[in-house]
Amino acid sequence: MSGSKEIRGKTLKVYLYLLKHGPCELRDVQRGLDFSSASLASYHLGKLLESGLACQDEYGRYYAVKEASERILEGYSKIGPAVVPQLFFFSLFFTILVVFFSAATWSGLDFVPYLIGVSFAMIAVLWFETIRLWRRLAV
């Protein structure tokens, strides 16, 4: 499964669709992901088959190889049907912290200003990494 590092964009979305919906026919994938043609769905399914991340059953339906999902989704958390970068939670937490510290400082409470600076630095790093992981899912 050497191709798993190369799976991104629409091919990754096809893999996630198969993982979520189980065995699907070509047209199911096309409609489910709103692809313009069946050949586009076939192309991405072919990439998954070639890399060993998907298989085809005796009825011609495609399904994801679940054992590969841990490697492919490294750095992501699955929350119901959504797949979000794990750093999203830390980014959100530090954003809330900075808003709190900023509001407390502006309202006259004596918080150490460098704490706000450190928080802004952490927000920048965490959001950068979160967006980088999200782009891996992007088209």
What are 58-90's pLDDT values in tens digits?
988 998 887 777 777 777 777 776 777 888 888
pLDDT score, position 47: 93
pLDDT score, position 2: 45
CB-based contact 61:23 (threshold 8 Å): yes
The angle subtended at Cα 21 by Cα 19 and Cα 24, nearest 5°, is 100
Beta-sheet pairing, 76-79 with 82-85: antiparallel
pLDDT score, position 1: 43
pLDDT score, position 39: 93
pLDDT score, position 110: 66
Amino acid at 26: L
pLDDT score, position 6: 65
Q: What is the pTM of this model?
A: 0.61
**Which residues in the chain show pLDDT less than 70?**
1-6, 81, 109-112, 138-139
DSSP letter string, 56-123? E-TTS-EEE-GGGHHHHTTTEEEETTEEEETHHHHHHHHHHHHHHHHHHHHTT----HHHHHHHHHHH
18: three-class secondary structure by DSSP = helix
CB-based contact 19:64 (threshold 8 Å): yes
pLDDT score, position 125: 84
